[in-house]
Amino acid sequence: MSDEQDKESKTEDPTEKKLRDAAEKGNVPFSREVTMFASALAIYVYMVFFLPSRFASTTESLRDFFEKPDQWQLESSIDALSIFTNLGWAASGILAPILILLMVFGIGSSVLQNMPTPVLERIRPQFSRISPARGLSRIFGVQGLVEFGKALFKIVIVSIIMFFALKSEFYGWIDAMFSDPQVIFVKMSGAMKHVMIVILLSTAVVAAADFFWTRYHWFSELRMTKQEVKEEFKQSQGDPIVKSRQRSIARDRARRRMIANVPRATLVIANPTHFAVALRYVREEDDAPVVIAKGQDLIALKIREIAEQNGIPVFEDPPLARSMFAQVSVDSVIPSVFYKAVAELIHRIYAASPQTRRIH
């Protein structure tokens, strides 16, 4: 009951991190039916393109062996080994191509579904793999029922199709039993091709359905609850409370550094109580005045207080103070739109007291 409730609560799609972690642990969608279809296709390719020529060459080799037994001596273990070696080479001529094709098609079907990656998690001993309860849940669960349905479909459908497809050739097979061996081979190979076509079509249908089912089931199993999504977000982005505290500390440090720069200002432009912008202009340092501090309300009052303590002129110009506060960031040169207004203020400072030309 708790498992059902847990599944019902998993309403959110898995995140990229959840999918990536699952893949790193070897939990990827994989359809065995696609591999079965690839194996059946490999057998059909072998029967069409390789079997006739391989069978003919092997038949010639065995014919020499059976029709001319006097050419083969069997008087010692070396002679027996030689005979078995020749028979092995003759058999490998038939078996080697099909083995290679099965390997190539099987590996290709796996690679096309998922790129192979070494995963140590798969070989790590786990109690769940030998647990009877987990085994029964796999057998009688949804996945087990799906596997049973696929097997039943293949057995029933393939059997019915093969029965009707080969029914007309039944008596031809019986007649072929009394014919030349070459005729028997041709007859059997033709019938096997029909059988393989039926198997290919049926396995193709099952493989296509299973391909999409495995991916749907895999995706469904990785679904997450809302709480899991929140926890993962906290882990990846950090706890919002901690982040907020860190930002607050960073702003406080930046504010202290800014306030420490006020004694170096050339002038302060203020809106009597709400805004204050401290500018520094030294011709040898910058081409235009630089905002070295700015603040609002209490910080603005602090900037004015420090400026007055250090003898820095404070000009009250509300429109200019508000505009510069909104448009210019700290440690930035003022835009050209403010050049004229600020130049007039600096000129007033120099005209009133020539000694203020010193560097603060």
pLDDT tens readout for residues 86-124: 777 777 777 888 889 989 988 888 888 877 666 555 556
Of the given ranges (50-54, 117-121, 285-289, 329-333), which has the lowest mean pLDDT? 117-121
Domain end point (choices 175, 193, 221): 221
Q: Who has greater pLDDT, 198 or 120?
A: 198
What HEC string does 149-192 produce? HHHHHHHHHHHHHHHHHHHHHHHHHHHHCCCCHHHHHHHHHHHH
pLDDT at position 249? 82
Domain co-membership, 351 together with 279: yes
Domain co-membership, 75 together with 201: yes
Of the given ranges (41-55, 108-122, 127-141, 243-257), which has the lowest mean pLDDT? 127-141
Residue 66 pLDDT greater than 70, yes or no:
no
Q: Who has greater pLDDT, 165 or 99?
A: 99
Domain co-membership, 98 together with 198: yes
Residue 292 lies in a domain: yes
Kindly report the average pLDDT of the chain as a whole number: 76
Of the given ranges (176-180, 218-222, 326-330, 334-338), which has the lowest mean pLDDT? 176-180
pLDDT at position 246? 73
Residue 312 lies in a domain: yes
pLDDT at position 126? 62
pLDDT at position 2? 46
DSSP 3-state of 214: helix
**Identity of residue 98:** I
| Segment 2-11 mean pLDDT | 61
Residue 233 lies in a domain: no
Please, how many CA atoms are within 13 Å of residue 211, restricted to the half-sphere of its CB? 16
pLDDT at position 130? 62
Residue 310 lies in a domain: yes
Residue 228 lies in a domain: no
* Count of domains for the chain: 2
DSSP calls for 237-281: H--HHHHHHHHHHHHHHHHHHHHHHGGG-SEEEEETTTEEEEEE-
| Segment 237-250 mean pLDDT | 71
Place of tokens 């790590």: 124
User: Which structural domain, as residue segments, surrounds residue 76?
Assistant: 28-114+128-221
Which of the four pLDDT bands, split at 50, 70 and 90, describes residue 288? confident
Q: Do 200 and 40 touch, CB atoms closer than 8 A?
A: yes
Q: Do 282 and 269 touch, CB atoms closer than 8 A?
A: no
Residue 2 lies in a domain: no
Domain co-membership, 87 together with 211: yes
| Segment 314-341 mean pLDDT | 85
Residue (of 39, 209, 195) closest to 109 by Cα position: 39
pLDDT at position 86? 72
What CATH number corresponds to the domain at position 331?
3.40.1690.10
Which of the four pLDDT bands, split at 50, 70 and 90, describes residue 357? very low
Domain co-membership, 351 together with 217: no
Domain co-membership, 206 together with 262: no
Domain co-membership, 32 together with 87: yes
Domain co-membership, 58 together with 187: yes
Residue 37 lies in a domain: yes
Domain co-membership, 181 together with 304: no
Domain co-membership, 83 together with 152: yes
DSSP 3-state of 76: coil
Per-residue pLDDT of 298-316, as tens digits, reads 888 888 888 888 888 888 8
Which of the four pLDDT bands, split at 50, 70 and 90, describes residue 182? low
